[in-house]
């Protein structure tokens, strides 16, 4: 097995999912019970949502978590 980095760069496709559904950051935030600032932070990659919040986002869009969140490859260990 390979070595797993101690810090992962987790990115999201929330902005793409919102565009497909034609909803605003505020509409998504209201639907899943968070603030617009939280959605902005997740979309910018500044905040990693909890597993529960990740599931709520995935359920809202009718997708798997892996369809929305992904790990950006990094050389950092």
Residues 16-45 have pLDDT tens digits of: 999 999 999 999 999 999 999 999 999 999
Q: How many Cβ atoms are within 10 Å of 28's Cβ, its own excluded? A: 23
Q: How confident is the model at residue 72 (pLDDT cuts 50, 70, 90)?
A: confident
* CATH code of the region 9-71: 1.10.260.40
Joined together, the tokens standing for residue 14 give 């929330």
Residues 41-62 have pLDDT tens digits of: 999 999 999 999 999 999 999 9
Residue ranges per structural domain of the chain: 9-71
Q: What is the pTM of this model?
A: 0.84
Instruction: Give the torsion sign (CA, 20, 56, 49, 25).
Output: positive
């Amino acid at each position: 097995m390979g070595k797993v980095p101690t810090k992962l760069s987790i990115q999201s496709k929330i902005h793409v999912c919102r565009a497909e559904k034609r909803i605003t950051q505020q509409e998504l935030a209201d639907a899943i019970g968070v603030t617009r600032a939280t959605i902005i932070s997740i979309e910018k990659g500044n905040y990693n949502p909890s597993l529960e919040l990740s599931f709520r986002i995935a359920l809202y869009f009718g997708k798997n978590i892996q369809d929305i969140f992904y790990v950006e490859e990094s050389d950092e260990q």
